[in-house]
Amino acid sequence: MNRRMLPLALALLTTAFAAPAMAQTAWPDHPLRVVVPFAPGGVTDAIGRLSAEWLGAKLGQTVVVENRTGANGAIAVEFVVRSRPDGYTLLTASASQMVMLPALTQLPFNTSRDIAPISIIGSNPQVLAVSARLGVNTLQEFIAYARANPGVLNYSSGGNGSSNHLAMELLLHRAGIQATHVPYRGGSPAMQAVLSGDVGAYFGNPSDIIPHLGGPAIRVIAVAAPDRMAALPGVQTVAEQGFPGFQAQTWNGIAAPAGTPQDLIDRMGTILGTACADGAFRTALERLGTVPVCSTPAQMREAMEADGPQWAELVRVAGLKLE
């Protein structure tokens, strides 16, 4: 090479190697998108919006929320999995899609391989609400009603394979009763079905149920947690009402497509990990009936790995399978 050309060549090489680094440090230079697997109004949607607002404020960039419903969240997860792993497309992940759905059916993705965890924002014990038309006020009365009216009882859920679906099927199995499953596209429409009397029961997220407490349309008769909820102190746990050890809890968080640069994952994880220390953010979660968590990426990965076998066992015990 001509010696007079050497400085120019070195300059071009320096520019070529510096360009990716400059592009990476510029992130985010345009709006991010958080994909929610369920309809607006449910706990997953609410947590997704809270997280998007917090993340956007800390990054100094707009974070747009996009609802993509269907197939109990599998449509949204597949969309995110197939998105460019550049830190601009995120998922409002829940235990329903990350660990429950894979135990129920074959999926075109593998959540442990294709999803990069960022943070669990909060956990949600399931709460059993029944239509006032049933005339029951306790879990034992509910079970007695189902036995006395075979083929009559039905219940709603946020979709096939959702935490709502699995919680109720586990209870039916433990109690030795039957009911017809009526799936909806999210917790909010599932709750509306109970309020309207279209279905008899919903074993759902606290955020779907708590706003309707004290109204004439429903009765809240059980909580599927180890202890009573602070938001529902007068409601007994399922365990207190004759089913020792019964628990059905889920969690919601934020994740990204696998392959997203680790420094971006860590940066978002650090930001979201501090959110629960903020009083307003924490209060907003608690109003949903959600227990604040705000984990690290590693802690979310550990939860996915620990919860998978647990829910697979529940699916086996309840005899469930999605075609």
Please choose, from the candidates 97, 240, 116, the residue with its C-alpha nearest in 3D space to the C-alpha of residue 162.
97
Residue 67 lies in a domain: yes
Query: What local confidence, expressed as pLDDT, does residue 43 receive?
Result: 83
Indicate the pLDDT class of residue 172, thresholds 50, 70 and 90. Answer: very high
Residue 147 lies in a domain: yes
Give just the sign of the alpha carbon dihedral 118, 121, 126, 129: negative
Whether pLDDT at 6 is above 80? no
Are 38 and 109 within one domain? yes
Containing structural domain, residue 43: 31-124+250-318
> What is the residue whose two structure tokens read 């699995």?
166
CATH code for position 288 = 3.40.190.150
Asked which of 215, 241, 267 is the last residue of a domain, the reply is: 241
Q: In what order do the strands lie in the sheet with 32-36?
A: 63-67, 32-36, 89-94, 249-257, 115-125, 291-292
Asked which of 241, 268, 289 is the last residue of a domain, the reply is: 241
Query: What local confidence, expressed as pLDDT, does residue 15 receive?
Result: 46
Are 232 and 275 within one domain? no
Residues 191-241: pLDDT tens digits?
A: 999 999 999 999 998 888 999 998 999 999 999 988 888 888 999 999 999
Give mean pLDDT, residues 270-299.
94
Q: Across the chain, what does the average pLDDT equal?
A: 89
Are 210 and 305 within one domain? no
Please choose, from the candidates 242, 243, 166, 174, the residue with its C-alpha nearest in 3D space to the C-alpha of residue 205.
166
Calculate what percentage of the chain has a pLDDT beyond 90. Answer: 63
Whether pLDDT at 19 is above 50? no
With vertex at residue 209, the alpha carbon angle to CA 204 and CA 211, rounded to the nearest 5 degrees, is 160
Helix pair 43-59, 187-195: axis angle to 10 deg: 140
Query: What local confidence, expressed as pLDDT, does residue 132 receive?
Result: 97
Are 108 and 155 within one domain? no
Q: What is the domain count for the chain?
A: 2
Kindly state the helix (H) or strand (E) to which residue 291 belongs, with its residue range: strand 291-292
Give mean pLDDT, residues 293-297.
97
Asked which of 241, 267, 295 is the last residue of a domain, the reply is: 241
Give just the sign of the alpha carbon dihedral 45, 46, 47, 49: positive
Q: What is the CB neighbour count within 10 angstroms for residue 4?
A: 7
Residues whose CB falls within 8 Å of the CB of residue 139, separated by 6 or more in sequence, listed in order? 128, 221, 222, 236, 238, 241, 242
Give mean pLDDT, residues 74-83.
97
* pTM score: 0.74
Query: What local confidence, expressed as pLDDT, does residue 316 receive?
Result: 78
- Among the listed ranges 29-33, 142-146, 249-253, which one has the minimum average pLDDT value? 249-253
Whether pLDDT at 182 is above 70? yes
Query: What local confidence, expressed as pLDDT, does residue 289 receive?
Result: 82
Query: What local confidence, expressed as pLDDT, does residue 2 receive?
Result: 52
Residue 21 lies in a domain: no
Query: What local confidence, expressed as pLDDT, does residue 256 receive?
Result: 98
Are 256 and 120 within one domain? yes
Are 81 and 131 within one domain? no
Query: What local confidence, expressed as pLDDT, does residue 63 receive?
Result: 98
Q: What whole-number distance in Å separates Cα of residue 186 and Cα of residue 75? A: 13
Are 134 and 230 within one domain? yes
Whether pLDDT at 16 is above 60? no
| DSSP for 121-164, written as a single string | EEEEE-EEEEEGGG---SHHHHHHHHHHSTTT-EEEESSTTSHH
Are 103 and 140 within one domain? no
Residue 57 lies in a domain: yes
Task: For the chain, give the number of residues.
Answer: 323
Are 112 and 129 within one domain? no
Residue 8 lies in a domain: no
Please choose, from the candidates 44, 167, 20, the residue with its C-alpha nearest in 3D space to the C-alpha of residue 94.
44
Are 230 and 161 within one domain? yes
Query: What local confidence, expressed as pLDDT, does residue 20 receive?
Result: 43
